[in-house]
Chains A and B, each alone.
Chain A
Amino acid sequence: MTTRPRTKLDLDPATVKEARALARKTGRPIVTLAKKHTTVAVERATLRLAGLQGADPDGTPWVNRLMDVVRADTGLEHGVALPVWDALLRGEADDLSTLAQKASAGSVTFRLPEGKDADRARRASRAQVAKGIKRIDARRVERERLIKRHGDAPRKPWIYLIVATGDIYEDIPQAQQAAREGADIIAVIRSTGQSLLDYVPEGATREGFAGTYATQENFRLMRAALDESSRELGRYVRLTNYASGLCMPEIAALAGMERLDMMLNDSMYGILFRDINPVRTFVDQRFSRQVHARAGIIINTGEDNYLTTADAIEAAHTVTTSQLLNEYFAKEAGLEDWQLGLGHAFEIDPDVPDSFRLELAHAMLARDLFPNAPLKWMPPTRHMTGDIFKGYLLDGFFNLVGALTGQGILLVGMMTEAVVTPWISDRDLALQNVRYVMNAAGRLHEDFRPEPDGFIANRARQVLGESVDLMHQILDHKHGLLDAIADGTFGLMKRPADGGRGLDGVAKKSSAYYNPASEILEEPFETVAAQPPQEPRRRTTRRAP
């Protein structure tokens, strides 16, 4: 799609090819592993796509209640679809919600149907789950229509702002205000504990902790509010949330059905930073990415996190490696280039000589390696010290790197990072910073080309080389990536494949296993938008005086 000459570093095509081949080689066994397993979260997501909603009076979602009973009766390894639709066909209940209630009361016993019964259950479950997928398709079409009607974000990078009050009804006016101030994307930070909950809370919530719970109702409320803002502002305002943690597949399904536009979704974040079991994560992640692919959602990966625990110079190649792996896993799951908001961050110690040149080298490397991916550029956090004046300058340099390397998504840095949650004035000053840099230097990339043998180009080559070495090193492990994760190769955290949270929710699929959602998601699909609808519009508006 893009006509802008972006490849500036003259990376050796053979090395780039080798890097991708190594990523594929590293990732493929993981995909095989993911295909052989299912998880409680994948099965619950299937029930959600089939339309099962709501929670019991204690707040436990019906999908969890039903899943638990099915699991107790027939196990997890056959999937939830056959036993559940077999019970419906046997007349145990008229619909899923009644079945869930009866099952939790102990008045339904599930079995694994065989022969003709199994065929009928398969067909019935597929028909019902297809409705959920159809709803996701419809929401995608609706997004395209609204973008056409209201217009898209007027420039690149898209400006990404965060709200995080804990109360959805406080979040809404804050998000609308942020959109008025210039945000193209609103991210609602989740309550910090949510990634470790093995259920998705229900309803509109007002008591999150350092963020707001991701629930279907909260998604719906916020999307509706931003639709209002889109109308008011004459540009479509995107909404972001997190498909991560123990309920990644369910959140992905809800996001698709409620027309969220972007989701944080990293291949290894949950493993490394939340100590979620690696197998659980890879299985959940593949399913969730298939749903995102279908929904036309742009994923944001979490490479910035590596740099919050490891040194940003020494660990630069782990970012590149993770980006390559994220790309492989994403494409395998059906996502396209324009949907890959691969993450990276401005986290080098500003006291290091040439820190800006190093940042620029790393960012250009990401840009050149992934020329058609939007890339998500994350602001400094680690070296924001409380000296807000210095922090403001650092954010300015962060923005400048963003402008020079054509980032697609720019998370706006706050000078009060690590001091307070952003005040209204912090946000205003931060946006002034972005606007100044983009106005003053937004097209500087047209003039800027690093010296072919200079510091920046050499540094980029070095990082790419180290990334290739690292992948060789990963492949030297007996069990490849899983062993590398276990011995602390990434982010210094050691996560063995048989440890971590959520392992008891994983099962190897039996030969009878059936999941209608996976079946549909594996099939090729036609949509109105196999490519980014915004590109042509953006170019015309950017060239306008």
Chain B
Amino acid sequence: MTEQSHIIRPYGDTTGDGMVQASFTLPVPHSKVAEGAAAQLAAKMGIEPALVVHAKPMGPDFTFFVVYGRVHHLVDVSKVEVVERDYPLLTPKEVNAAVKRALRRRLTVVGACIGSDAHTVGIDAILNIKGFAGEKGLEYYRELKVVNLGAQVSVPQLVERAREEKADAVLVSQVVTQRDAHLLNTREMSAAFRESYPSDKRPLLIVGGPRFDESAAADLGVDRVFTRGTTPGEVASYLVHQLARRGSAA
């Protein structure tokens, strides 16, 4: 790759045109001044020249705008940091074989939506046999024992059940994000597990949900964060990868 091709701009209909769109509301009645204010905001955001293509009053006190225009910012792709998948993606068959080899018993996964979150869509997509995105859920894997506790499980309940089941991994799904509930709940959960397990015996802690930051695992005290679009196969592959590694370290 040449130095030059690391640098990109947004694409409207011509390479390098830098075109973007934005929409926002300003707390002012609709008027020429309001439209000017929208253009000014766009300019300050780096959209210049900005075209205010739509302005609509919403009640007496607010105006909604759609703006198109060019940004001059450059993006350096070589400096983007992401969490890439650092484990091989396995088929269910390979997962089962790997579990057998590494553990000589079934691998136990306990899953739940914790706190007040009642949205089981995420945990069900990963755990239920029905699965997600054409992949069967973890219940389908012969060598995985899945205990899905469902919605609104308290952290103490989860810890207790994980101990009872001798869980190898604990999967927690968090959809509700109001007031950062997903972050608070996750930290509470990881702290509770740290407290009730010696560090080398603690199950793998995995949290998932559409609004998590993948790179925040350490900050949240968990082993892995999965976000939007994660498939059961990815989770299963990760489990096997981690536990095999653990097994060989022990």
Mark A residues whose CB is within 8 Å of B: 166, 177, 180-181, 191-193, 196, 209-210, 273-275, 308-311, 382, 386, 418, 421, 423-425, 428-429, 492-493
Q: Which of B74-82, B113-121, B186-194, B232-240 contacts A (4 or more CB under 8 A)?
A: B113-121
Indicate if B246 sits at the interface (CB-CB under 8 A). Answer: no
Contact B179 A425 (CB under 8 A): no
In the complex the two chains form, what is the Cα distance from A252 to B59 in whole Å? 35
Contact A425 B58 (CB under 8 A): yes
Residues on A with beta carbons closer than 8 Å to the beta carbon of B31: none
Residues on B with beta carbons closer than 8 Å to the beta carbon of A166: 178-179
Nearest chain-B residue to A164 (Cβ)? Answer: B178
Contact A425 B178 (CB under 8 A): no
Contact B151 A275 (CB under 8 A): yes
Residues on A with beta carbons closer than 8 Å to the beta carbon of B23: 425
Contact A210 B59 (CB under 8 A): no
- What are 13 inter-chain pairs, A to B, with CB distance below 8 A? A191-B116, A192-B117, A196-B152, A209-B178, A209-B179, A273-B118, A275-B150, A424-B25, A425-B23, A429-B64, A492-B124, A492-B130, A493-B150
Nearest chain-A residue to B153 (Cβ)? Answer: A275
Contact A492 B128 (CB under 8 A): yes
Residues on B with beta carbons closer than 8 Å to the beta carbon of A493: 150
Contact B178 A386 (CB under 8 A): no
Residues on B with beta carbons closer than 8 Å to the beta carbon of A191: 116
In the complex the two chains form, what is the Cα distance from A424 to B27 in whole Å? 10
Residues on A with beta carbons closer than 8 Å to the beta carbon of B119: 308
Contact B151 A273 (CB under 8 A): yes
Residues on A with beta carbons closer than 8 Å to the beta carbon of B56: 428
Residues on A with beta carbons closer than 8 Å to the beta carbon of B228: 386
- Categorize the interface residue count of chain B: 20 to 34
Residues on A with beta carbons closer than 8 Å to the beta carbon of B24: 425
Indicate if B181 sits at the interface (CB-CB under 8 A). Answer: yes
In the complex the two chains form, what is the Cα distance from A210 to B120 in whole Å? 16
In the complex the two chains form, what is the Cα distance from A309 to B123 in whole Å? 10
Indicate if B89 sits at the interface (CB-CB under 8 A). Answer: no
Contact B64 A193 (CB under 8 A): no
Q: Encode B1-29 as 1/0 by CB contact (under 8 A) with A.
A: 00000000000000000000001110000
| CB-based closest 7 A-B pairs | A192-B116, A193-B116, A210-B178, A428-B58, A425-B64, A425-B25, A210-B176
Q: Encode B57-77 as 1/0 by CB contact (under 8 A) with A.
A: 011001010000000000000
Mark B residues whose CB is within 8 Å of A: 23-25, 56, 58-59, 62, 64, 115-121, 124, 128, 130, 150-152, 175-176, 178-179, 181, 210, 228
In the complex the two chains form, what is the Cα distance from A382 to B24 in whole Å? 25
Residues on B with beta carbons closer than 8 Å to the beta carbon of A310: 130
Residues on A with beta carbons closer than 8 Å to the beta carbon of B116: 191-193, 209-210
Residues on B with beta carbons closer than 8 Å to the beta carbon of A308: 119-121
Contact A311 B151 (CB under 8 A): no
Residues on A with beta carbons closer than 8 Å to the beta carbon of B181: 209-210
Given contacts A210-B116, A308-B119, A309-B124, 14 further A-B contacts (CB under 8 A): A177-B59, A181-B58, A192-B118, A209-B178, A209-B179, A210-B181, A273-B118, A273-B151, A308-B120, A309-B120, A418-B210, A421-B178, A423-B25, A429-B64
Residues on B with beta carbons closer than 8 Å to the beta carbon of A425: 23-25, 58, 64
Contact B151 A274 (CB under 8 A): yes
Tell me the minimal C-beta distance from A167 to chain B in angstroms: 11
Tell me the minimal C-beta distance from B54 to chain A in angstroms: 11
In the complex the two chains form, what is the Cα distance from A382 to B119 in whole Å? 11
In the complex the two chains form, what is the Cα distance from A209 to B115 in whole Å? 11
Contact B152 A275 (CB under 8 A): yes
Nearest chain-B residue to A388 (Cβ)? Answer: B23
Residues on B with beta carbons closer than 8 Å to the beta carbon of A275: 150-152
Nearest chain-B residue to A308 (Cβ)? Answer: B121
Contact A192 B176 (CB under 8 A): yes
Nearest chain-B residue to A427 (Cβ)? Answer: B58
Given A210-B176, A275-B152, is A311 in contact with B121 using a C-beta cutoff of 8 Å?
A: no
Residues on B with beta carbons closer than 8 Å to the beta carbon of A192: 116-118, 176
In the complex the two chains form, what is the Cα distance from A263 to B23 in whole Å? 36
In the complex the two chains form, what is the Cα distance from A418 to B181 in whole Å? 15
Residues on B with beta carbons closer than 8 Å to the beta carbon of A210: 116, 176, 178-179, 181
